[in-house]
Amino acid sequence: MTPDPSKKQLPPLAPRIRFAARLVRSASIAAALVGSALALGAAGYRNFEGLSWLDATLNAAMILTGMGPVTNLVTVEGKLFAIFYCLFSGVVFLTLVAVLFAPVAHRFLHRFHIELGDENEKP
């Protein structure tokens, strides 16, 4: 059976060490994104509500994880910041999920595609 020249040959599945490197890279990007979002939130709560750095970071961490604020907000600026930070945190969460699972989904789909290609070539 000769290979069909019209079919595109798929590259082989990447070795596990390369896959692990991709996972580490994705986790590093996610950690940098979490750190940046947490720093932004802590600075905002510190600036607009006058909270201590510890309380501001706690509030930002609780909002970022979807738990809700810890302290009551008293200033209009602080409440407006909290509104925008909550919306921002939702987008960050979805982005983190995509960044973390992208290498796994890519490998799964690549492997599935290779297996489909192998099945179609059987007589």
CA distance 87 to 36: 15
**Model-level pTM?**
0.75
User: What topology is assigned to 20-121 in CATH?
Assistant: Helix Hairpins (1.10.287)
pLDDT at 104: 87
pLDDT 10s digit of each residue in the chain, 123 long? 555 556 666 677 778 898 889 899 999 999 999 999 999 999 999 999 999 999 999 999 999 988 988 999 999 999 999 999 999 999 999 999 999 998 888 888 877 765 555 555 555
Task: Report the SS3 class of residue 4.
Answer: coil
Local structure of residue 13 (DSSP, 8 states)? P
Task: Report the SS3 class of residue 25.
Answer: helix
pLDDT at 30: 92
